[in-house]
């Protein structure tokens, strides 16, 4: 069994999902109205990855969790006030644009560069974690490109579970069609795991953990590398997903009838 | 050049509700990451476990239920329980914790003040031990109250603070106690065993407390005076938690009327004791202990009500905007659909009033909390210096500090003099004197603490009623978003517990005329004029005039007598002293708010998150300041006028020689000398004694010219304040709010 892991979690930040999100045209392309001023949270998909990473690190003493994040430094600091209390981590901060209107290839290049810069990184212990998509735009392509740039070829997406075998192998459950999971076994790190929801709840805030983390997080934020992304992507139009609520109260409908109605509605859409 | 005061419509509006970054700057903890984390931690508990419990009807019982008890584990896990302790005791924040506790109270009370009270009551129990306990007592109880760490097999102790007794004993008069302590056993060479006999009333945390810090008076000639004693649930005797109090509010805190009759070693006397001539002399009386504790914890209570007011803003805006949505008759896109009730000026003007009050009360509360953080180390240094000089506690210390007050006033005077004129060596000496520093800040803390408790909770409760009314019938249902109905009711308890309003007014009536406070107050007036010159839109000028009027009135009342020759400013004449205390609170709150907004203006540009929308945010907050200042000035003008004129007897028609009136024949002769006099003379008495139909000749203002000039000036100083309200109200119709409240309701 491997003694310890170096788990690098890539995670961006997004506006708090309860906020009113209104796309507007900014000088550098599309943006969200007042985005800088809206409270932000760690991207929920990345959050699942981070909490799984922390759980893994707890199980294997000597393991370490890195959070690599590209976001406006001031917003990232705000988010860290909460995240830093939940899991022991070391932050690698990149001060640059976050949100849903960046090119995932550019983002991946910046993240991969930052990961390569982590001192003492051991590929034989490296597990690259991230969300298999994101709550900002959900292109679902960033993590693959980060892994490719790092030369990690064992890649798994839509991961819900990771178990470490006695021999140190990774047994991974990936989501596939029909609510099923595909089981894969990977001999050893390095590997990319793009997490779906995983199985863990959000850890409670722990002020002691937070105070410990802050000793490294604040210096990391202070020396966050300014990162400009090339605007190599153009958006023809930007719109929020259409919200629709048509509530009917129907009693005694069977499961089949409900399923059929949903299927008919989806087909019509 | 146009200024904000002359703008009809601002060019920029506040974009979003003020976020954490704005608050960090305004309330001065932008550089305190530890406090920012504490705030987030408390918020997660408040908007998670606490909100779910309230939404699920957890408040609908007086009993301490298993669901309510689960909150304790939440407090433990989030670090709230251990916040009070030092790192050596198992805590995680260095230094004074007044601001930290205030922030936790603010976050919890944002959702439910009962939960806030429950969390803080444990600190209140530990307060006497923390402030006045022996080293052994501190170490023993603090370490047991730290939540058990992973791997530790022990129960986390919870405490309760037991001062209040059943009527007719302790209530407003905390100096009287019916609880007694007597010597039960005292063998030669051994520690005395004392018996504590105490009944409590309205004791928070009593449903589960493992220990109690109880105030008792001596019932035995072998014990001198009063003291506080630590009682544990396993002590021999009666430790009866009593029945749950049938309170209508703060249902997420456990409150009971306990009964104790316990024998404990005398080492449980908080702060220890000495024995002299066979008499146990406690180091501290109960009064000395509770004074040290309450002067800090009352601030957090005031902040709870501030949180309620500010928490009401988002649900109110959403309610107003959504009021007509969902009706087939109101089409999306129409003003009625988009703005709802916000089309109506009254709705948004009243909302602005609630918001301004909430901001001012939060500013006052956090100013006071920071003040105590600054005062804590100075107080320790003061004790050290006095002890080194051989000055004991109590009266001796009081007398020594009275002398220092003169130095403090001298320091203030010197510091305002021109450098070329003043005695630099004397100024430097005074500046370096820790007792002078203490005296300056202590004088302020002695005013700000009761002012915060009194105004934030008292006026806050009234304003919460306004907030509830803005929700219509919805406001007084359990379904009201943001639990506004609960919050309104809860605010009334906050105005009552830890010293009701009368106690705060009484304290203020003494501390607000302290010479060191007044010397600083005079400087503030001048500073506000400077602020007004730089930021005319804040209403700082009106506030300075109102402060001048208050000062004039306070000075006048202290040397004046009423119509019967009785002294006006007297401790028993609460009709004079209490309203004057109320008036001062308005001024302090408005000033604190202005200073916080100026801080935002100064530091906001350094933070990219705040900088982006800063012009709009500043315009809105500046207008809110003006609104609040005008309201404060109005209140102060009214109160001062009532006090200055109200104790003079109104002239009557039957006064000897019709004093102050013209006689008709006299007026006719004078008319030839002063043409037109007859047309302006009001009080004219005919030869037959008939006179105008009114109460009497109009009252004059002899000796009060300066006051009447100030009053006229103050009224005109309100120029522009209504325009500020209109601008703020318009901003409220444009501000972006989240799609939904971030806690269940």
Asked if residue B411 and residue B367 are part of one domain, the reply reads yes
| Residue A263 within a domain | no
pLDDT at B701: 84
CB-CB neighbors (< 8 A) of A33 in chain B: 15, 736
Q: How many other C-beta atoms are found inside a 10 Å radius of the C-beta of residue A161? A: 15
Query: Using the beta-carbon criterion (under 8 Å), do B21 and A74 form an inter-chain contact?
Result: yes
Asked if residue B246 and residue B100 are part of one domain, the reply reads no
pLDDT at B608: 92
**Can you give the residue range of the structural domain that contains A54?**
6-226
Considering only the beta carbons, identify the residue of A18, A74, A82 that sits closest to B738: A18
B738 touching A (Cβ < 8 Å): yes
At B149, list the tokens. 């760490």
CB-CB neighbors (< 8 A) of B613 in chain A: 34, 36-37
Scan for tokens 């069994």, then name that residue. Answer: A1
Rounded to whole angstroms, the maximal C-alpha distance in chain A is: 62
Shortest Cα–Cα distance, A20 to chain B (Å): 5
Provide φ and ψ at B195, rounded to 5°: -110, 125
Closest chain B residue to A73 measured between Cα atoms? B608
| Residue B692 within a domain | no
**Tally of structural domains, chain B:** 3
| Residue A130 within a domain | yes
CB-CB neighbors (< 8 A) of A36 in chain B: 608-609, 612-613
Q: What is the pLDDT of residues B559-615, one digit of tens each?
A: 999 999 999 999 999 999 999 999 999 999 999 999 999 999 999 999 999 999 999
Tell which phi-psi region holds residue B247, choosing left (phi > 0), alpha (psi between -120 and 50) or beta: beta
Kindly give, in sequence order, each residue whose CB lies less than 8 Å from that of residue A179, ignoring residues fewer than 6 positions away.
none
Shortest Cα–Cα distance, B17 to chain A (Å): 9
For residue B631, pLDDT beyond 90: yes
pLDDT class of B172 with cuts at 50, 70, 90: low
| Residue B740 within a domain | no
* Residue ending a domain, choose from B274, B294, B314: B294
For the packed helices B345-388 and B434-451, what is the interaxial angle rounded to 10 degrees? 150
Asked if residue B374 and residue B274 are part of one domain, the reply reads no
Query: Using the beta-carbon criterion (under 8 Å), do A205 and B739 form an inter-chain contact?
Result: no
Give the Cα separation of B178 and B199 in Å (integer). Answer: 8
Asked if residue B290 and residue B316 are part of one domain, the reply reads no
Query: Using the beta-carbon criterion (under 8 Å), do A205 and B44 form an inter-chain contact?
Result: yes
Q: What is the pLDDT of residues B671-709, one digit of tens each?
A: 888 888 888 888 888 888 888 899 998 888 888 999 999
| Residue B743 within a domain | no
| Residue A62 within a domain | yes
Asked if residue B139 and residue B197 are part of one domain, the reply reads no
pLDDT at A252: 80
CB-CB neighbors (< 8 A) of A27 in chain B: none
| Residue A47 within a domain | yes
Asked if residue B312 and residue B163 are part of one domain, the reply reads no
| Residue A119 within a domain | yes
CATH code, A164: 3.40.50.620
pLDDT class of B2 with cuts at 50, 70, 90: very low
pLDDT class of B548 with cuts at 50, 70, 90: very high
Whether the CA torsion B112, B118, B119, B120 is positive or negative: it is positive
CATH code, B192: 2.40.110.10
CATH code, B60: 1.10.540.10
Query: Using the beta-carbon criterion (under 8 Å), do B608 and A36 form an inter-chain contact?
Result: yes
Average pLDDT over residues B228-232: 98
Considering only the beta carbons, identify the residue of B41, B607, B737 that sits closest to A207: B41
Exposure class string for A206-233: b at 16+ Cβ within 10 A, else e: bbebbbbbbeebeebbeebeebebeeee
Query: Using the beta-carbon criterion (under 8 Å), do A20 and B738 form an inter-chain contact?
Result: yes
Shortest Cα–Cα distance, B362 to chain A (Å): 21
pLDDT class of B3 with cuts at 50, 70, 90: very low
Asked if residue B324 and residue B184 are part of one domain, the reply reads no
List B residues 27-56 in contact with A (Cβ-Cβ < 8 A): 33-34, 36-41, 44-45
Asked if residue B345 and residue B322 are part of one domain, the reply reads yes
Q: What is the pLDDT of residues B47-80, one digit of tens each?
A: 999 999 999 999 999 999 999 999 999 999 999 9
| Residue B541 within a domain | yes
In a structure prediction context, what are the per-residue pLDDT tens digits for chain A, which is 269 residues long?
Answer: 457 999 999 999 999 988 888 889 888 788 899 989 999 999 999 999 999 999 999 999 999 999 999 999 999 999 999 999 999 999 999 999 888 888 999 999 999 999 999 999 999 999 999 999 998 888 889 999 999 999 999 999 999 999 999 999 999 999 998 889 999 999 999 999 999 999 998 898 888 889 999 999 999 999 999 998 876 788 888 888 776 556 666 778 889 998 999 899 888 87
Considering only the beta carbons, identify the residue of B20, B38, B613 that sits closest to A207: B38
Considering only the beta carbons, identify the residue of B21, B40, B609 that sits closest to A82: B40
B77 touching A (Cβ < 8 Å): yes
| Residue B707 within a domain | no
Shortest Cα–Cα distance, A251 to chain B (Å): 23
**Residues above pLDDT 90, as percent of chain B:** 83
pLDDT at A230: 79
**Tally of structural domains, chain A:** 1
Query: Using the beta-carbon criterion (under 8 Å), do A37 and B613 form an inter-chain contact?
Result: yes
| Residue B745 within a domain | no
B481 touching A (Cβ < 8 Å): no
Q: How many other C-beta atoms are found inside a 10 Å radius of the C-beta of residue B651? A: 18
Query: Using the beta-carbon criterion (under 8 Å), do B20 and A20 form an inter-chain contact?
Result: no
> Among B19, B33, B92, B737, which would you mutate to test the A interface (most chain A Cβ atoms within 10 Å of its Cβ)?
B33
Asked if residue B299 and residue B269 are part of one domain, the reply reads no
Tell which phi-psi region holds residue A234, choosing left (phi > 0), alpha (psi between -120 and 50) or beta: beta
pLDDT at B611: 96
Give the Cα separation of A77 and B467 in Å (integer). Answer: 34
**Can you give the residue range of the structural domain that contains B438?**
4-18+295-647+718-734
Q: Which of A105-114, B445-454, B569-578, B645-654 has the lowest mean pLDDT?
A: B645-654
Measuring CA to CA, how many Å separate A23 from each of A40, A236, B49, B156, B737? 16, 13, 33, 50, 15
* Residue ending a domain, choose from B254, B270, B294: B294
Asked if residue B186 and residue B129 are part of one domain, the reply reads no
For residue B6, pLDDT beyond 60: no
Give the Cα separation of B288 and B727 in Å (integer). Answer: 49
At B447, list the tokens. 């005013």
Between A and B, how many CB-CB pairs are < 8 A? 97
Question: ω into residue A190 within 30 of 0, thus cis?
Answer: yes
CATH code, B407: 1.20.140.10
Q: Do residues A164 and A192 touch, judged by C-beta distance below 8 A?
A: no
Report which of B352, A268, A236, A134 is spatially closest to residue A143, judged by C-alpha positions: A134
Asked if residue B319 and residue B288 are part of one domain, the reply reads no
Closest chain B residue to A75 measured between Cα atoms? B609
Work out the mean pLDDT of chain B and round it to a whole number. 94
B15 touching A (Cβ < 8 Å): yes
Interface residues on A facing B, Cβ-Cβ cutoff 8 A: 16, 18-20, 22, 33-34, 36-39, 72-75, 78, 81-82, 84-85, 204-208, 210-211, 214, 218
Query: Using the beta-carbon criterion (under 8 Å), do B608 and A20 form an inter-chain contact?
Result: no
Tell which phi-psi region holds residue A120, choosing left (phi > 0), alpha (psi between -120 and 50) or beta: left
Shortest Cα–Cα distance, B604 to chain A (Å): 12
For residue B27, pLDDT beyond 80: yes
| Residue B673 within a domain | no
> Among A37, A73, A226, which would you mutate to test the B interface (most chain B Cβ atoms within 10 Å of its Cβ)?
A37
Kindly give, in sequence order, each residue whose CB lies less than 8 Å from that of residue B66, ignoring residues fewer than 6 positions away.
none
DSSP state of B483: G
| Residue A77 within a domain | yes
Considering only the beta carbons, identify the residue of B16, B92, B607 that sits closest to A208: B92
Shortest Cα–Cα distance, A21 to chain B (Å): 8
Shortest Cα–Cα distance, B467 to chain A (Å): 23
CB-CB neighbors (< 8 A) of B34 in chain A: 211, 214
Report which of B476, B452, B453 is spatially closest to residue B464, judged by C-alpha positions: B476
Query: Using the beta-carbon criterion (under 8 Å), do B739 and A20 form an inter-chain contact?
Result: yes
* Residue ending a domain, choose from B294, B324, B358: B294
B20 touching A (Cβ < 8 Å): yes
CB-CB neighbors (< 8 A) of A206 in chain B: 77-79
> Among B609, B612, B620, B737, which would you mutate to test the A interface (most chain A Cβ atoms within 10 Å of its Cβ)?
B609
Q: Do residues B612 and A40 touch, judged by C-beta distance below 8 A?
A: no
| Residue A143 within a domain | yes
Q: What is the DSSP string of B258-286?
A: EEEEEEEEGGGBTT-EEEETTEEEESS-H
Q: What is the DSSP string of A225-257?
A: EE-PPP-----S---PPPP-------SS--HHH
Asked if residue B304 and residue B285 are part of one domain, the reply reads no
Query: Using the beta-carbon criterion (under 8 Å), do A205 and B736 form an inter-chain contact?
Result: no
Closest chain B residue to A82 measured between Cα atoms? B40
| Residue B686 within a domain | no
Report which of B497, B76, B479, B500 is spatially closest to residue B245, judged by C-alpha positions: B497
Q: What is the pLDDT of residues B372-401, one digit of tens each?
A: 999 999 999 999 999 999 998 778 998 999
For the packed helices B457-470 and B345-388, what is the interaxial angle rounded to 10 degrees? 160
Average pLDDT over residues B134-156: 92
């Amino acid at each position: 069994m491997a003694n310890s892991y170096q788990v690098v979690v890539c995670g961006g930040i997004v506006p708090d999902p309860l906020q009113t999100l209104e796309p507007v045209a900014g000088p550098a392309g599309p943006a969200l109205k007042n985005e800088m001023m809206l409270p932000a949270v760690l991207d929920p998909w990345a959050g699942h990855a981070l909490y799984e990473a922390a759980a893994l690190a707890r199980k294997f003493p000597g393991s370490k969790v890195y959070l690599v994040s590209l976001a406006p430094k001031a917003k990232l600091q705000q988010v860290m006030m909460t995240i830093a209390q939940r899991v022991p981590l070391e932050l690698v901060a990149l001060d640059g644009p976050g949100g849903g209107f960046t090119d995932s290839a550019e983002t991946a290049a910046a993240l991969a560069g930052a990961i390569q810069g982590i001192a003492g990184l051991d590929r034989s212990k490296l597990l690259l974690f991230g969300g298999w998509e994101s709550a900002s735009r959900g292109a679902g392509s960033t993590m693959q490109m980060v892994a490719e740039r790092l030369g990690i070829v064992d890649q798994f997406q839509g991961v819900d579970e990771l178990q470490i075998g006695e021999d140190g192998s990774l047994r991974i459950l990936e989501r596939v069609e029909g609510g099923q999971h595909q089981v894969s076994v990977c001999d050893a790190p390095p590997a990319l795991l793009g997490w779906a929801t995983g199985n863990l709840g959000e850890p409670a805030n722990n002020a002691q953990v937070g105070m410990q983390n802050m000793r490294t997080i604040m210096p990391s934020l202070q020396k966050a590398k300014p990162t400009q992304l090339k605007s190599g992507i153009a958006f023809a139009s930007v719109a929020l997903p259409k919200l629709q609520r048509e509530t009917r109260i129907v009693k005694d409908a069977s499961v089949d009838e409900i399923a059929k109605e949903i299927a008919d509605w989806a087909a019509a859409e | 050049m146009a200024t904000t005061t002359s703008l009809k419509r601002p060019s920029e509006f506040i974009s979003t509700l003020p976020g954490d970054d704005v608050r960090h700057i305004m309330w001065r903890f932008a550089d305190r990451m530890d406090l920012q984390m504490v705030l987030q931690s408390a918020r997660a508990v408040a908007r998670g476990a606490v909100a779910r419990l309230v939404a699920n009807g957890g408040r609908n019982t007086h009993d301490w239920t298993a669901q309510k008890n689960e909150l304790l584990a939440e407090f433990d896990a989030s670090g709230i329980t251990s916040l009070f302790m030092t790192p050596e005791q198992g805590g995680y924040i260095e230094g004074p914790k007044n601001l930290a506790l205030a922030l936790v109270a603010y976050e919890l009370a944002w959702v439910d003040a009962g939960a806030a009270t429950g969390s803080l009551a444990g600190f209140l129990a530990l307060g006497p031990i923390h402030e006045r306990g022996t080293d052994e007592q501190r170490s023993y109880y603090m370490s047991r109250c730290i939540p058990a760490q992973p791997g530790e097999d022990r129960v986390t102790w919870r405490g309760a603070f037991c001062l209040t007794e059943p009527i007719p004993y302790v209530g407003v008069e905390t100096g009287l106690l019916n609880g007694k302590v007597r010597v039960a056993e005292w063998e030669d060479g051994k520690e005395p065993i004392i018996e504590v006999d105490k009944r409590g009333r309205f004791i928070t945390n009593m449903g589960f407390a493992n220990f109690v810090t109880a105030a008792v008076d001596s019932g035995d000639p072998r014990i001198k005076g009063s003291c506080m004693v630590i009682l544990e649930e396993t002590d021999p005797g009666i430790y009866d938690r009593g029945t749950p109090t049938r309170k209508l509010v703060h249902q997420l805190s456990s409150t009971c009327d306990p009964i104790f009759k316990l024998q404990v070693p005398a080492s449980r006397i908080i702060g220890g004791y000495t024995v002299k001539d066979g008499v146990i002399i406690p180091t501290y009386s109960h009064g000395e202990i509770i004074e040290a504790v309450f002067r800090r914890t009352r601030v957090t209570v005031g902040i709870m009500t501030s949180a309620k007011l500010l928490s009401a803003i988002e649900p109110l805006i959403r309610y107003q905007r959504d009021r007509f949505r969902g009706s087939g008759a109101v089409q999306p896109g129409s003003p009625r659909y988009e703005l709802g009730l916000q089309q109506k000026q009254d709705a948004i003007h009243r909302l602005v009033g609630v918001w301004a009050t909430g901001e001012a009360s939060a500013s006052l509360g956090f100013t006071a909390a920071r003040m105590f953080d600054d005062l804590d180390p100075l107080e320790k240094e003061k004790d050290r210096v006095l002890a080194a000089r051989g000055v004991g506690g109590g009266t001796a210390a009081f007398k020594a500090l009275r002398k220092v007050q003169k130095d403090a006033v001298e320091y203030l005077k010197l510091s305002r003099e021109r450098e070329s004129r003043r005695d630099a060596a004397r100024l430097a000496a005074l500046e370096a004197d820790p007792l002078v520093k203490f005296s300056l800040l202590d004088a302020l803390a002695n005013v700000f603490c009761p002012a915060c408790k009194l105004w934030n909770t008292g006026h806050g409760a009234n304003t919460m009623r306004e907030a509830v009314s803005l929700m219509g019938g919805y406001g007084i249902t359990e379904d009201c978003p943001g639990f506004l109905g609960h919050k309104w009711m809860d605010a009334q308890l906050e105005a009552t517990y830890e010293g009701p309003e009368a106690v705060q007014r009484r304290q203020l009536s003494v501390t607000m005329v302290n010479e060191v406070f007044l010397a600083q107050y005079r400087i503030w007036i001048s500073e506000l004029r400077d602020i007004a010159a730089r930021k005319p839109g804040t209403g700082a000028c009106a506030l300075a005039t109102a402060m001048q009027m208050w000062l004039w009135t306070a000075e006048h009342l202290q040397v004046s007598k009423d119509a019967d020759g009785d002294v006006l400013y007297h401790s028993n004449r609460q009709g004079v002293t209490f309203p004057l205390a109320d008036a001062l609170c308005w001024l302090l709150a408005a000033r604190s708010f202005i200073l916080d907004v100026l801080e935002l203006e100064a530091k906001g540009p350094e933070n990219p998150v705040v900088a982006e929308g800063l012009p709009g945010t500043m315009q809105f907050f500046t207008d809110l300041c003006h609104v609040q200042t005008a309201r404060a000035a109005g209140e102060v003008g009214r109160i001062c006028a009532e006090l200055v004129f109200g104790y003079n007897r109104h002239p009557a028609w039957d006064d000897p020689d019709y004093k102050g009136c013209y006689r008709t024949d006299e007026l006719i002769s004078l008319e030839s000398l002063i043409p037109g006099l007859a047309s302006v003379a009001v009080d004219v008495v005919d030869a037959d004694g008939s006179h105008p139909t009114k109460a009497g000749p109009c009252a004059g203002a002899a000796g009060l010219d300066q006051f009447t000039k100030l009053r006229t000036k103050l009224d005109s100083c309100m120029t522009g304040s209504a325009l500020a309200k209109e601008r703020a109200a318009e901003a409220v119709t444009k501000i972006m709010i989240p799609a939904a409240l971030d806690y269940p309701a």
